[in-house]
A and B are shown apart, each in its own frame.
Chain A
Amino acid sequence: MSALDAPIEEIGERYLLPKETTFNDVTEAVARITETKAPRGWWMLFIPSVMTLGLMLTCMGWLVTQGVGTWGNNGPVYWAWDITNFVWWIGIGHAGTLISAILFLFRQKWRTSINRFAEAMTVFAVLCAAMFPALHTGRPWFDYYLAPIPNQMGIWPNFKSPLMWDVFAVNTYLTISVIFWFVGLIPDLATLRDRSTTKYRRMIYGFLALGWRGSHRHWQHYERAYLIFAAISTPLVLSVHSIVSFDFATSVIPGWHTTIFPPYFVAGAVFSGFALVMTLMLIVRSIFGMHNLVTIKHLDLMNKFMLGTGLMVGYAYAMEFFVAWYSNNPYESWVFLHNRLGFGELDSQGNWGPLWWSYYAMVGCNVLVPQIFWFKKCRTSVPIMFIATILINIGMWFERFVIIVTSLHRDFLPSSWGDFEPTGIDIGLYIGTFGLFMTLFLLFIRWIPMIAIAEVKATLPHAHGSHGDDHNHEHDHEDHAHAASAE
């Protein structure tokens, strides 16, 4: 630490935050949001979000009372927007844990400005995701059948089905994500408690802070717990989306069955998760004026990350395409050439695959758009990255749509081919989930410190200043403790 950690300007290193930022600045900037009246921008987002949530509940009520026939799903497209939305949301839920756990293990300190935010997003996104498989069963009041509960009928879920593995994977991921998020919050909740001016605030934050007093022993246990959760979460980041990919890849459907699916889905999930973190971060940053905590440097690094994961996704597309051709498997090549690219003669019904355009939407948004991040100008321009992140999320939705719907609507038997048209309920429910997500999210930024106060402080240069020469002890991660005690 200390002098050695000072940035070497000649090789492009900079302080993460402006050098003059003090501990108090950080606490003020983050805690103040929960203590003062919400700015107008917050209300301008919150009211439409609650209305959209209402739309979701309406559609949901209609769906549950009328049945899944109100969706556009019909043979052979038995999975459509429901599972597309599920995979899309669960993908978004990957960024949080990746930033909290994997970047933590890789000691990427820049993650501290965005990890809390992304973790909260993870939890809310997984909630939105979990809704779709629960609803698509048609009779959600029987969803407990999915759990292996001993019962008098001797009926058990099919443990050989990847859909069953999904239930376990998603639930595990949700549980661990919530615990990880909460453990990380404890020191910051204590900060809010200590700053409370009203009795109720003090009681509520005091309850949530679990008696945190910031002693060295507390910090030691906290750090240990954080590390263990990071280690547990890391394989979960990989496993959840891998198992989601198994839902498709274990089948024999051309376009579904391919071995690269597990890592490809994980890379895509991280890609889309980062994109949504960016979109929301840019909005929040401007509403609450957090420019000094989430700097252009952070955004630049996140854009690089998106370029990297975008290239991985592009690699997976290329592999699928190449192998469809290389394998000489007529079904695989047919799917990619006619159904997805739209090449070749049209059939008597109109065409080989009326949804070919969605493949171009997917490649355009996911592979071409992130290429702009090769240029520093684009990586550091807020309007450009804002538009790019939105396009990437659209592209990632189309990726799942392409995989699920286009593969199904032209299956092996031309006599069973069908088309897919979303209904109003399909659309309303999807849009409605944004209401759920944004409502929870906006409540979160109003009531919970949206940036990890203690962790950001540890990255400030003077968190190490007076202790600079004293780092021979085995664990120099008591930086956090120094940071907090300096407050």
Chain B
Amino acid sequence: MASHEHSDDVVYRIPDDRDSSWSTMWKIPAALGAVGLLGSLVGFMSDPVRFGYAYLFAFFAVLTLVFGAMFLVIALHITQGHWALTLRRVAEVIMGGAPVMALLFVPLAAGVFTGTFTMYDEWMHVSHEVHSGHGHGHAEEGDHGGDHADHAEGETHGAVGGLLEGVAHADDHGHAAEEGHSAHTPQETYAHHKLLTAKVNGWLNHKVWITRAIVYLIIWLLIAWFFFTRSTEQDESKDKQLTLKMKSAGPVAATLFGTTMTFAAFDWVMALEPTWYSTIFGVVIFGGSAVAILALLIIIGISLKQSGLVGNAINTEHFHDLAKLMFGFMCFWAYTSFSQWMLIWYAGIPEESTWFQKRWDGNWEWWSLMLMFGHFVIPFFFLISRLVKRNIGMLRVGAIGLLCMHVADIYWYVMPQAGPLQLNFIDIMCLMMVGGIFFTYVFLMMKRFPLIPIGDPRLARALHHHQSH
């Protein structure tokens, strides 16, 4: 048999008493989170409109990690794959951060409902009134819009005063600040209005929006709770029946997860541009989430390994496999992103191409090019090498790079809706706050449970996992 260096002396737990780097790891996100919280408060005071976008970006970027973790855990149960078993616990703990995300959704919903966050204003508060042609105005929101015309896209400003007025208002202020955009013709304005009025009554209005959000969150909490509790229960009981239970729940969970993830992406990100639509949108967000979680698992896995807490339970063979899967999903992300762009570009239908136009004007072309090269071309040639995938130092560079690119990708989905590219300290502060809170919780939870699923019946196989190629 293979060597037994991972035997009894490794307990696969983060020690409480000893001075291990992982015992105090949670303090890093906690500190970042505290700074982020303070910075966010300042940002919120100074520029609540920008804060709304920044918070949404940060929330969604971290949420995609939960998406990815949920997908990976479910997929491992369905396929009964043992190769990544020793890293399943880390994914489970990240998935177990779902309650934090549910709590962090509350400020988002509150901001949107009180009218402080204006990113959905074009449809959020104007449901039935628009239909009858009498928009009820929130004067104070109009003011917010006016104050920040330099970085808020036109339509987001004054939609509160009835759609037609809102669009007219936008023509006065918003578009003046945006380069390369001609003003809307009256016909376009009318068409835009017509498109929206029917939509806000059926799908895009605050009541239905919040109801759906609650449904998504409940489903994610249930999925996370089900798999997390059973897996940790198995640590103690070694009950093999639990493996079967998780396996048979897998397909149902996958179906629910796929549906809710798609519609959450529609509701929270695609709806930022309410007249735009793309059927592949959910798939693209899914692909990016999978890349992100695999990159994160590699980064955390390497750190755990170097701290000596997991012995040889996580080794080069596992990293190699994770890296191959990450490479595959990176290509999948590129494939879906390319399909979305290419089909819209090729057909050239105005109502679709405006969305990409926003991601090319106002200096966003640099960001788009950065994603193209940073999220695909460069890592493709870097990670394709077997040498890189089996070298912990180089792999870590690749994984950190891809994780950063994933965050940049979500930034690219959200922020162009707020206007030209302009890196704002509020964006960074929000990311530090949301990420900090989330990872403080995750790292504290990691201290409470074994770092690998020690009760899984297939653990021995995972410990002896070898590459066949």
Measured CB to CB, the residues of A under 8 A from B are 4-5, 8, 10-13, 105, 107, 223, 227, 235, 238, 242, 246, 249-252, 257-263, 307-308, 311, 315-316, 319-320, 323, 325-329, 374, 469, 471-472, 474-477
The minimal Cβ–Cβ distance linking B407 to chain A, given in whole angstroms, is: 23
Contact with A along B331-348 (1 / 0, CB 8 A): 100011001101110110
- State in angstroms the CA–CA spacing of A50 and B83 once bound together: 48
Shortest 10 CB-CB contacts between residues of A and residues of B? A260-B279, A259-B280, A10-B240, A250-B346, A327-B277, A260-B280, A477-B468, A262-B339, A319-B279, A11-B243
- State in angstroms the CA–CA spacing of A223 and B241 once bound together: 38
B458 within 8 A of A: yes
| A326 pairs with B199, CB closer than 8 A | yes
| B468 pairs with A259, CB closer than 8 A | no
| B244 pairs with A12, CB closer than 8 A | yes
B214 within 8 A of A: no
Contact with A along B452-469 (1 / 0, CB 8 A): 000001101100101111
Contact of A262 among B255, B335, B468 (CB under 8 A): B335
| B258 pairs with A315, CB closer than 8 A | yes
- State in angstroms the CA–CA spacing of A262 and B343 once bound together: 10
Given A249-B343, A263-B336, A328-B198: 12 more A-B contacts, CB < 8 Å? A5-B461, A10-B241, A11-B244, A246-B343, A252-B349, A259-B344, A260-B278, A260-B283, A263-B283, A307-B251, A315-B262, A477-B468
- State in angstroms the CA–CA spacing of A10 and B456 once bound together: 12
17 A–B contacts, CB within 8 A, in A order: A4-B460, A8-B240, A10-B241, A11-B80, A11-B240, A12-B247, A251-B347, A259-B279, A262-B280, A263-B280, A308-B251, A319-B282, A320-B279, A326-B203, A326-B277, A328-B195, A477-B468
Q: Which residues of A contact B342 (CB under 8 A)?
A: 246, 250
Which single residue of chain A is at the shortest CB-CB distance from B351?
A: A329
Q: Which residues of B contact A329 (CB under 8 A)?
A: 277, 351
Q: Which of B386-417 contact A (CB under 8 A)?
A: none
Q: Which residues of A contact B343 (CB under 8 A)?
A: 246, 249-250, 257-259, 261-262
Q: Which residues of B contact A257 (CB under 8 A)?
A: 343, 347, 349
B103 within 8 A of A: no
Given contacts A12-B247, A326-B199, contact A238 B458 (CB under 8 A): no
Given contacts A263-B283, A263-B339, contact A328 B458 (CB under 8 A): no
B2 within 8 A of A: yes
B1 within 8 A of A: yes
- State in angstroms the CA–CA spacing of A307 and B78 once bound together: 13
- State in angstroms the CA–CA spacing of A240 and B1 once bound together: 45
Given contacts A238-B335, A262-B335, A307-B251, contact A4 B464 (CB under 8 A): yes
Q: Which residues of B contact A4 (CB under 8 A)?
A: 460-461, 464
Q: Which residues of B contact A11 (CB under 8 A)?
A: 80, 240, 243-244, 247, 457-458
- State in angstroms the CA–CA spacing of A328 and B194 once bound together: 9
Contact with A along B427-469 (1 / 0, CB 8 A): 0000000000000000000000000000001101100101111
Q: Which residues of B contact A307 (CB under 8 A)?
A: 251
Q: Is the interface of A mostly helix, strand, loop or mixed?
A: helix
| A475 pairs with B251, CB closer than 8 A | no
Name the residue among A262, A469, A476 with the largest chain B CB count within 10 angstroms: A262
- State in angstroms the CA–CA spacing of A308 and B259 once bound together: 14
Which single residue of chain B is at the shortest CB-CB distance from A469?
A: B1
The minimal Cβ–Cβ distance linking A373 to chain B, given in whole angstroms, is: 10
- State in angstroms the CA–CA spacing of A258 and B340 once bound together: 9
The minimal Cβ–Cβ distance linking A328 to chain B, given in whole angstroms, is: 5
- State in angstroms the CA–CA spacing of A274 and B83 once bound together: 26
- State in angstroms the CA–CA spacing of A319 and B83 once bound together: 33
Given contacts A250-B346, A328-B195, A476-B468, contact A8 B457 (CB under 8 A): yes
- State in angstroms the CA–CA spacing of A13 and B247 once bound together: 12
Q: Which residues of A contact B331 (CB under 8 A)?
A: 235
| A477 pairs with B277, CB closer than 8 A | no
The minimal Cβ–Cβ distance linking B354 to chain A, given in whole angstroms, is: 13
- State in angstroms the CA–CA spacing of A477 and B468 once bound together: 5
Q: Which residues of B contact A469 (CB under 8 A)?
A: 1
- State in angstroms the CA–CA spacing of A263 and B340 once bound together: 11
Contact of A323 among B279, B335, B468 (CB under 8 A): B279
- State in angstroms the CA–CA spacing of A148 and B240 once bound together: 61
Q: Which residues of B contact A251 (CB under 8 A)?
A: 347
Which single residue of chain B is at the shortest CB-CB distance from A314?
A: B255
| A374 pairs with B251, CB closer than 8 A | yes
| B469 pairs with A227, CB closer than 8 A | yes
Which single residue of chain A is at the shortest CB-CB distance from B336?
A: A263
Contact of A259 among B199, B240, B340 (CB under 8 A): B340
Q: Which residues of A contact B336 (CB under 8 A)?
A: 262-263
Contact with A along B255-284 (1 / 0, CB 8 A): 100110010001000000001011111110
- State in angstroms the CA–CA spacing of A242 and B342 once bound together: 12
The minimal Cβ–Cβ distance linking B334 to chain A, given in whole angstroms, is: 11
- State in angstroms the CA–CA spacing of A227 and B258 once bound together: 32
The minimal Cβ–Cβ distance linking B263 to chain A, given in whole angstroms, is: 9
Which single residue of chain A is at the shortest CB-CB distance from B1?
A: A469
Which single residue of chain B is at the shortest CB-CB distance from A226?
A: B469
Given contacts A4-B461, A252-B349, A326-B203, contact A311 B247 (CB under 8 A): no
Q: Which residues of B contact A227 (CB under 8 A)?
A: 469
Given contacts A227-B469, A307-B251, A329-B351, contact A319 B457 (CB under 8 A): no
| A475 pairs with B468, CB closer than 8 A | yes
| B335 pairs with A242, CB closer than 8 A | yes
- State in angstroms the CA–CA spacing of A393 and B268 once bound together: 37
| B251 pairs with A472, CB closer than 8 A | no
The minimal Cβ–Cβ distance linking A479 to chain B, given in whole angstroms, is: 8
| A319 pairs with B199, CB closer than 8 A | no
The minimal Cβ–Cβ distance linking A412 to chain B, given in whole angstroms, is: 13
Q: Which residues of A contact B349 (CB under 8 A)?
A: 252, 257
Which single residue of chain B is at the shortest CB-CB distance from A472?
A: B2
Q: Which residues of B contact A315 (CB under 8 A)?
A: 258-259, 262
- State in angstroms the CA–CA spacing of A476 and B279 once bound together: 44
| B457 pairs with A10, CB closer than 8 A | yes
Which single residue of chain B is at the shortest CB-CB distance from A224?
A: B469
Which single residue of chain A is at the shortest CB-CB distance from B2?
A: A472
| A107 pairs with B457, CB closer than 8 A | no
Q: Which residues of B contact A10 (CB under 8 A)?
A: 240-241, 457
Q: Which residues of B contact A471 (CB under 8 A)?
A: 2, 464, 466
Q: Which residues of A contact B275 (CB under 8 A)?
A: 328
Which single residue of chain B is at the shortest CB-CB distance from A252?
A: B347
- State in angstroms the CA–CA spacing of A379 and B153 once bound together: 54
Q: Which residues of B contact A260 (CB under 8 A)?
A: 278-280, 283
- State in angstroms the CA–CA spacing of A323 and B276 once bound together: 10
The minimal Cβ–Cβ distance linking B218 to chain A, given in whole angstroms, is: 21
Q: Which residues of B contact A308 (CB under 8 A)?
A: 251
The minimal Cβ–Cβ distance linking A391 to chain B, given in whole angstroms, is: 21
The minimal Cβ–Cβ distance linking A364 to chain B, given in whole angstroms, is: 19
Q: Which residues of A contact B457 (CB under 8 A)?
A: 8, 10-11
Name the residue among A227, A249, A476 with the largest chain B CB count within 10 angstroms: A249
Name the residue among B203, B275, B281, B335 with the largest chain A CB count within 10 angstroms: B335
Contact with A along B219-260 (1 / 0, CB 8 A): 000000000000000000000110110010001000100110
The minimal Cβ–Cβ distance linking B82 to chain A, given in whole angstroms, is: 9
Name the residue among B458, B467, B469 with the largest chain A CB count within 10 angstroms: B469
- State in angstroms the CA–CA spacing of A261 and B280 once bound together: 8
Q: Which residues of B contact A320 (CB under 8 A)?
A: 279
The minimal Cβ–Cβ distance linking A205 to chain B, given in whole angstroms, is: 29
Q: Which residues of B contact A259 (CB under 8 A)?
A: 278-281, 339-340, 343-344
- State in angstroms the CA–CA spacing of A250 and B342 once bound together: 8
Q: Which residues of B contact A327 (CB under 8 A)?
A: 277
The minimal Cβ–Cβ distance linking A300 to chain B, given in whole angstroms, is: 13
Q: Which residues of B contact A477 (CB under 8 A)?
A: 468-469
- State in angstroms the CA–CA spacing of A80 and B195 once bound together: 33
Which single residue of chain A is at the shortest CB-CB distance from B457?
A: A8
- State in angstroms the CA–CA spacing of A4 and B347 once bound together: 55
- State in angstroms the CA–CA spacing of A242 and B339 once bound together: 9
Q: Which residues of A contact B278 (CB under 8 A)?
A: 259-260, 323
